[in-house]
Amino acid sequence: MKIVIDGMGGDNAPKSNVEGVVNAIKEYNVDLIITGDKEILEKEFSNYEFDRSKLEIVHTTEIIENEDKPVKAIRAKKDSSMVVALKMVKEGKADAIISAGSTGALLAGGLFVVGRIKGIDRPCLCPALPNAKRGMTIIADGGANVDCKPRNLVDFAAMSNIYAKKVLGMDNPKVALANVGSEEGKGNDLVKKAYEELKNIDINFIGNVEARDVINAYTDIIVCDGFTGNILLKSAEGVAMSVMKLIKETLLSSTKGKIGAMFIKDDLKKLKSFMDYSEYGGAPLLGVNGGVIKAHGSSNSTAIKNAINQGIKFAKGNVVEDIKEFIKDMEDKQME
């Protein structure tokens, strides 16, 4: 098993990517490949001591920037660190790619380079949000598909259910549908039709969930179209950052607050860790014929290391094969 890392992708590349790779080799004893400018990467790796036999550097000459148009960049920059890494997954030279680079480009690359699993109309991006009751909640879809059909939401639910079991170790994950109300019959035509279909597939579907209940919801997966999911995700991230900022400003605004902060310092660290994206690794693109994991653009070395761990679990869990089996079962039932 090998995992490939887009060494030049992300706001903190290549430093954080290199440090994340080194820490992953030390902690997981895994063989890793990193793509990018070899001279730059070698210079960064020279700052660390680790088992070099576990690392392969593949030289590339181009970088896909966030400002690049995604599809055009994937097609034009064939020797970019991202495209070369994606091709390695396509060709079976790597089991999964980790990239903190352009989200749009990685989604396009997953679709056009790695390719869809036969029978999956649209892959979905599945980021995680902190959940006060269950640790984390997967959002499926978090932004890959703005417009969806009911069958797409059913596929998102089934694929994220497999991922939650095989990679996150969730036992019989609870799946809910994002809606404007918790009662059955609420929502637009897309949600109503999807609700009926979700009741008939082999998952633990618990019905609708409202946006205000996401952080406290007793659910592991929230299914929605990418437009809704991305707004939900960005809103939650914005609220989390604002709350942490307000707490800090309030405590530091008075002598009494500063004294109090000294006594609750450890608790504040736990709260910050709970809201920190780096603790949750990356977001898998489910429905493509290989492991594609999108790390946060501002990922530090911890986030990269955790995303690599996701890639390892993704490969070991045979997630792609299980999704193919789900598609086969669905087709067999339709033929009955």
Dihedral sign computed on CA atoms, order 265, 266, 272, 278: positive
Place of tokens 């946060």: 296
Q: In angstroms, rounded to a whole number, what is the distance separating the alpha carbons of residues 229 and 221?
A: 12
The tens-digit pLDDT sequence of the chain (336 residues) is 899 999 999 999 999 999 999 999 999 999 999 999 999 999 999 999 999 999 999 999 999 999 999 999 999 999 999 999 999 999 999 999 999 999 999 999 999 999 999 999 999 999 988 877 777 899 999 999 999 999 999 999 999 999 999 999 999 999 999 999 989 889 999 999 999 999 989 999 999 999 888 777 679 999 999 999 999 888 887 877 787 788 888 888 888 878 887 878 787 777 666 666 556 678 999 999 999 999 999 899 999 999 999 999 999 999 999 999 988 887 776 665
pTM of the prediction?
0.90
Given a contact cutoff of 8 angstroms between Cβ atoms, the answer to whether 137 and 129 are in contact is yes
Question: 10 Å Cβ neighbour count for 27?
Answer: 11
- DSSP per-residue codes, 223-244: E--HHHHHHHHHHHHHHHHHHH
Distances 90 to 96, 117, 291, 309, 323 between C-alpha atoms, Å:
9, 12, 10, 20, 17
Backbone angles phi, psi at 121, to 5 degrees: -70, -45
Q: Which domains does the chain have, with CATH numbers?
A: 1-118+287-336 (3.40.718.10), 121-279 (3.40.718.10)
Given a contact cutoff of 8 angstroms between Cβ atoms, the answer to whether 296 and 277 are in contact is yes
